[in-house]
A and B are shown apart, each in its own frame.
Chain A
């Protein structure tokens, strides 16, 4: 049987999840996809899609059937040469993936993260207090969401002081290239190309500062038998996935709190809700919207047959608002139990940086609760469109210092 005949099993949708309209406001389309069926066929791209929490979780969990080594973007590495050498983590399957992942989990431990907390909190307090004291209209993205991760993350890794402005365009490029070769993809490649040289230089063993996480990853990888090229590739995963994601998480949190003043009031009353507020942001306004898998054999999901070699697009953000899973899914509620969302993925590829991301989010929002008494929109937020990420380009805010 060919993909064409089997596809008739699944409802056919004409939606383009990489169009500007969709990327600007995906939520009605998410609902349409969830209601179309447990699995659907996206005709424009010849890929299957899943948007309900159950099916997204199943695809994430069954990593033998739904593999990552053929790419987690729309391109099938079995048919097309990837634009960069594949990641040893994100774009790998066991047993290679297991080995690479262990190198990192051994270093990036909860203990290590705990030891960072005081320093991360001090940075957040200093930044937020300073910006809140400025008065007038500020840009939540340029003045807060971007500077904070850029103040803590590169030092933590041990990157050179010069050239850090390359981190955001590189990350943006990587996430855009998981999508089809549309305008976002092409422009991101152009802009990111300039950043690539600096990134590769930073990833080279010997390059990061000896006390940082980067050097530790290199050393542990060397000990586990990875050659220099692969040691560099392991660190590359951090530089690709570690900055744009948290910038968007913090920017989206600011927007959610500005648009839901009663939620900000709850956070002000009890700053220990900061971590939960960040978690709810990742559910409600997921920085990573989608990832693909590829079927390694003929299979079936909720009664729909998928032939070997099918690309399956997982709408993580749609699963995070599936009414089958969540009560009032479209309400931003920092006191709900958001655990169980798939904004950090799930299973063997679950986000390796999730505890670091939570730490950054928690410290930032704790600082916001401490130093800001009111946060109001001072203009229309502008989305930064990306084939994979959801985040803001600018967020005009008026802050009242506490």
Chain B
């Protein structure tokens, strides 16, 4: 089972097992992890599951859709080059993401 490492803004880390193909957002939400709101439940409509991808993990990710790109312009915390919406990222192999200061 691939593992996803979630790094909170204060540096605290949680390593969670992910069933193949579930989204990074679902992994966080189904484990009750704070820091991912995911108000719309995964429809790329709310921009409240924003994450920063840690160095070294960016390459293996699926390409960003136009919708995700636009939603990322609306995040509560600053958008960076490594910003993604975690609802749009199926887990295929190990991954590490950093959570932003705010989602809403």
Contact of B45 among A114, A279, A350 (CB under 8 A): A350
Given the interface contacts A102-B66, A102-B67, does A346 sit within 8 Å of B74 by beta carbon?
A: no
Whether B41 contacts A339 by the Cβ 8 Å rule is: yes
A184 to B73 CA separation, bound complex (whole angstroms)? 44
CA distance A358 to B46 in the complex (A): 11
Q: Which stretch (A42-50, A104-112, A160-168, A290-298) binds chain B?
A: A104-112
The residues of A that contact B41 with a CB separation of less than 8 Å are: 339-342, 344, 346, 350
Residue of A nearest to B67 (CB): A105
Instruction: Please report the number of residue pairs spanning A and B whose Cβ atoms sit closer than 8 angstroms.
Output: 49
Most chain B beta-carbon contacts within 10 A, residue among A341, A346, A355, A358: A355
Tell me the count of chain B residues lying within 8 A, CB to CB, of chain A: 18
Cα of A340 to Cα of B67 in the assembled complex, Å? 21
Pairwise interchain contact A344-B40, C-beta atoms closer than 8 A: yes
Q: Which residue of B lies closest to A114 (CB)?
A: B74
**Residue A147, interface by CB 8 Å:** no
A113 to chain B minimum Cβ distance, whole angstroms, is 9
Give a binary string over B66-80; 1 marks a CB under 8 Å from any A CB, 0 the rest: 110011011000000
Minimum distance in angstroms from A363 CB to a CB of chain B: 14
Number of interface residues of A (CB under 8 A): 21
**Secondary structure of the B contact surface, majority rule:** loop
**B47 interface residue per 8 A CB criterion:** yes
**Chain A residues whose CB sits within 8 angstroms of the CB of B70 once the complex forms:** 105-106, 109
Nearest Cβ in chain B — how far from A181, in angstroms?
Answer: 32
Q: A106-B70, A109-B74, A339-B29 are in contact. Are A346 and B42 (CB under 8 A)?
A: yes
CB of B45 within 8 A of CB of A355, answer: yes
| A109 proximity list for chain B (CB < 8 A) | 70-71, 73-74
Most chain A CB atoms below 10 A, which of B45, B46, B67: B45
A residues 344-360 in Cβ contact with B at 8 Å:
344, 346-347, 350, 352, 354-355, 358
Contacts of A114 in B (CB 8 A): 74
Binding site for A on B (CB under 8 A): 29, 32, 37-43, 45-47, 66-67, 70-71, 73-74
Task: Give me the interface of A with B, judged by CB distance under 8 Å.
Answer: 102, 105-106, 109-111, 114, 279, 337, 339-342, 344, 346-347, 350, 352, 354-355, 358
17 A-B contact pairs sorted by A residue (CB < 8 Å): A102-B66, A105-B45, A105-B67, A105-B70, A109-B71, A110-B46, A114-B74, A279-B39, A339-B37, A339-B38, A339-B39, A340-B41, A350-B43, A352-B45, A355-B39, A355-B45, A355-B46
